[in-house]
Structure 1
Amino acid sequence: MAYVLQVDFKMNGPFGDEMADAFSDLAKSINEEDGFMWKIWTESRETNEAGGIYIFESKETAKKYMDMHSKRLSSFGITDVNSKIFAINSKLTAITKGPVKTPSY
């Protein structure tokens, strides 16, 4: 079963193309994380928030990444981080075209 890791936090930029340029190496490194499947990067310039929606192969790999990422954000001075892990209902997600592999039942 795949799991969602939802993360958001306050930050004062960069956003848009500047964010893409600043964090492209980080984005590439995330691909190497244990159990990582994909990520949607989120941002709101209006509310000074950023974060992401991650998919991991297991709850354990999502939790391991969440703990590591919280420490990394803290080292950047970002301490008010909201993180949650959810199981994915693959059958319903497939109906609504979610890009998550549906396990055989």
Structure 2
Amino acid sequence: MSYLLQVDFPYQGSWGSEMSSAMRGLAESIAKEPGLIWKIWTENQATGEAGGIYLFEDLNSAETYLAMHIERLRGFGVPRVNGKVFEVNEPLSLIDRAPL
């Protein structure tokens, strides 16, 4: 069973390739998180939001990461973080070509 973590928050920083350059070190750090299978970085300049969709191999890893990430973002001055953890229905997701 795998678990999907959805996170979004207000963001007024850099976008696109500038974000890629600025966040490279953070991305490399996130890649080493226990239980992480993958992350998709999300950004919406029009609404001033950023975040990510993560796939974790177990619930504990997803919940532990979310708690740590909320604290990290608050340390960066982010006032509100939305985070939700979902169980992945793998049979249906595979039908729709999910990279599981």
TM bracket (short chain): over 0.9
Matched letter for residue 89 of structure 2: N
- TM-score, structure 2 length as denominator? 0.98
The residue correspondences of 1:1-105 to structure 2 (distance < 5 A) are 1-100=1-100
Secondary structure at the counterpart of residue 43 of structure 1: strand
Runs of 5+ in structure 1 lacking a partner? 101-105
For residues 79 and 63 of structure 1, the distance between their equivalents in structure 2, rounded to whole angstroms, comes to 20
Identical-pair percentage: 49
Post-superposition offset of 1:61: 0.3
How far did 1:13 drift?
1.7
| CA distance, structure 1, for counterparts of residue 91 and residue 79 of structure 2 | 36
Q: Is the 8 A contact 1:13 1:45 kept in 2?
A: no
**Structure 2, unaligned stretches of length 5 or more?**
none
CA distance in 1, matches of 2:6, 2:46: 20
Letter in 2 for 1:83: G
C-alpha displacement of 1:15: 0.8
For residues 42 and 13 of structure 1, the distance between their equivalents in structure 2, rounded to whole angstroms, comes to: 13
> CA–CA distance in 2 between the matches of 1:69 and 1:95?
31
Q: By how many angstroms is 1:79 displaced?
A: 2.1
TM-score, normalised via structure 1 length: 0.94
Aligned length: 100
Question: Structure 1: which amino acid aligns with 2:92?
Answer: L
Q: How far has the Cα of 1:8 moved from its partner?
A: 0.2
